[in-house]
């Protein structure tokens, strides 16, 4: 893979910058963490060289000074809101996050339930937290929020919220997803700390948009594509431009809310510590790009992938056409089209030749390998085998898994497990390959090539099963699909 980002420089520069921000205040900083704190695959795709867990590793350098608060909106609990990338509810993700942070040696201080109302699911969630000996706090809805400053900054506004007891200088406020109340949690704590004589500070960590890249840089356009469903729009920060004369990039929600935030800061501190939304940020990612062209190219591919995802989401009934219209507009801004995704045409051509679904994989050297639907294998499984054969230098005619070994698995699926599809999925062929590798040196050699698929581009001519999607995700490949099902049935398992 071509590298365009210096991850080591980022880890050092980012942690030092956060330390400086803590020192600006009374050795107490509430840091709102936007985006994914770990598993940030979007950042790793558009900034090649950025590792998915970079932000967590950066915080590890401040581990002894850091504690974590996880915020979750009561409405998300009551509605069983799902994280689309993981397929689990927000409340389940809270427990996943706690485990993940603790396994990394971080101190998770508490969970705060924001916009609290007495719903049955929320009460049950809080009981579970109590049973697990996890502290929880309640924050309430404030009428007229965020415009009614007089009420917000009063004992009937933020003052009505529970004060979250914290122990360490850096308090990271994170959440399962957007709309969880991270910023409100931070500001509520500033109010309570100030009442206790502690001049705590607030800062915001958002990787995107990158403030010191041009407004229409593909990296920033890719961020808009990633948040098309939220209708985020990148903008020049007018407050920063007025204060300093320098154009910087922020996004509409932070710019729109800044006058309100400024008024809240002034009500709490008498004087606001910031002159612009950009001032509030602490992101150093833009200073660690080492090859701008590599990042531009990677971001353009991400924009196309997001467009295909939008097409598939519409087919599955998961998003509106307005989202797709925005993605089309962003593709035009970036100067790209579907034809710029090299892996698409070979898959479509293979499907046309065989009259069955096909999958193509672009390897890192630019070579494209395809897989067709056969009596034994689905197209994804076939493409996967062909790709690792190519990487191993094994002849295409060689059977890594013999047909005789596949047939009993097909019998198991159809005769005993109730499956209508006898063809092996990617997970099944990988298990069969692992068994073959015990006695077959070529199968072992091919299996060892799986890590080399990470970062490769993959395209399917049909929507894939969740099993195949998950295997490709675990392999770290970048998957897109045509927005159509393999069959004409009206019910499909996603």
Query: Is residue 494's pLDDT more than 60?
Result: no
**79, 35 contact by CB (below 8 A):** no
Q: Report whether pLDDT(253) > 90.
A: no
What pLDDT band is residue 245 in, cutting at 50, 70 and 90? very high
Q: What percent of the chain is predicted at pLDDT more than 90?
A: 83
Both ends of the chain: CA-CA distance in Å?
Answer: 31
Mean of the pLDDT values across residues 164-169?
A: 96
pLDDT score at 29: 96
Q: For the chain, how many residues are written?
A: 494
Question: Does 224 have pLDDT greater than 70?
Answer: yes
Confidence of residue 493 (pLDDT cuts 50, 70, 90): low
Topology (CATH) of 7-288: dip2346 fold like (3.10.630)
Mean pLDDT across 89-101: 95
Identify the residue with better confidence: 403 or 1: 403
| Correct CATH for 342-481 of 3.10.450.50, 3.40.140.40, 1.20.58.2240, 3.30.160.270 | 3.40.140.40
Residues 38 and 70 sit within 8 Å (Cβ to Cβ): no
Tell me if domain 7-288 and domain 342-481 are identical in fold: no
What percent of the chain is predicted at pLDDT more than 70?
Answer: 98
- Whole-prediction pTM value? 0.90
Q: Average per-residue pLDDT in the chain?
A: 94
Task: Give yes or no for a contact between 153 and 117, defined as CB atoms under 8 angstroms apart.
Answer: no
* pLDDT, mean of residues 341-349: 98
Domain boundaries of the chain, sorted by first residue: 7-288, 342-481
How far is residue 241 CA from its own chain's centroid?
30
CB 302 within 8 A of CB 42: yes
Predicted local distance difference test score (pLDDT) of residue 489: 61
Give the pLDDT score at 255. 94
For range 144-149, the mean pLDDT: 89
H/E stretch holding 264 reads helix 252-269
pLDDT at 380 over 50: yes
pLDDT band at 488 (very low <50, low <70, confident <90, very high): low
Q: Whose CA is closest to 448, among 401, 392, 405?
A: 392
């Amino acid at each position: 893979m071509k590298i365009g980002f210096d991850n080591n420089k980022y880890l050092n520069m980012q942690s030092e910058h956060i330390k400086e921000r803590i020192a600006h205040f009374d050795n107490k900083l509430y840091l709102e963490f936007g985006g994914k704190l770990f598993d940030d695959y979007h950042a790793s795709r558009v900034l090649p060289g950025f590792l998915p867990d970079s932000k967590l590793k950066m915080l590890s350098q401040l581990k002894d000074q850091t504690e974590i608060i996880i915020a979750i909106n009561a409405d998300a609990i009551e509605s069983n809101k799902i994280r689309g990338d993981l397929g689990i509810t927000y409340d389940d993700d809270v427990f996943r996050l706690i485990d993940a942070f603790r396994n990394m040696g971080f101190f998770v201080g508490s969970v705060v339930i924001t916009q609290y109302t007495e719903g049955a699911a929320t009460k049950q969630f809080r009981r579970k937290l109590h049973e697990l000996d996890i502290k929880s706090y309640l924050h309430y809805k404030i009428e007229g929020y965020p415009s009614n400053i007089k009420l917000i900054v009063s004992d009937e506004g933020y003052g009505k919220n529970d004060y979250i007891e914290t122990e360490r200088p850096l308090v990271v406020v994170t959440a399962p997803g957007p709309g969880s109340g991270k910023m409100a949690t931070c500001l509520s704590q500033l109010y309570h700390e100030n009442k206790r004589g502690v001049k705590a500070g607030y800062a915001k960590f958002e990787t995107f948009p990158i403030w010191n890249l041009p407004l229409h840089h593909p990296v920033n356009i890719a961020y808009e594509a990633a948040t098309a469903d939220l209708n985020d729009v990148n903008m020049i920060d007018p407050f920063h431009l007025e204060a300093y004369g320098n154009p910087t990039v922020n996004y509409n929600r932070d710019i729109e809310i800044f006058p309100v935030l400024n008024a809240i800061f002034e009500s709490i501190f008498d004087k606001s510590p910031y002159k612009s939304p950009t001032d509030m940020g602490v992101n150093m990612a833009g200073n660690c790009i080492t090859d701008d062209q590599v990042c531009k190219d990677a971001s353009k591919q991400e924009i196309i992938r997001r467009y295909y995802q939008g097409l598939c989401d519409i087919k599955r009934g998961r998003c509106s056409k307005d989202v797709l219209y925005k993605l089309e507009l962003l593709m035009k801004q970036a100067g790209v089209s579907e034809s710029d995704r090299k892996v698409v045409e070979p898959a479509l051509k293979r499907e046309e030749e065989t009259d069955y679904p096909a999958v193509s994989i672009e390897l890192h050297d630019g070579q494209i390998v395809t897989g067709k639907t056969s009596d034994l294998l689905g197209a994804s499984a076939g493409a996967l085998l062909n790709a690792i054969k190519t990487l191993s230098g094994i002849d295409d005619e060689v059977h890594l898994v013999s047909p005789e070994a596949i047939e009993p698995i097909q019998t198991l699926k159809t005769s005993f497990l109730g499956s209508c599809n006898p063809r092996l999925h990617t997970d099944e062929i990988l298990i069969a390959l692992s068994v073959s590798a015990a006695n077959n040196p070529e199968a072992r050699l091919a299996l060892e090539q799986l890590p080399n698929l990470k970062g490769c581009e993959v395209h399917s001519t049909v929507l894939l099963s969740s099993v195949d999607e998950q295997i490709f995700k675990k392999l770290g490949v970048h998957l897109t699909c045509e927005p159509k099902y393999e069959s004409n049935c009206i019910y499909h398992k996603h």
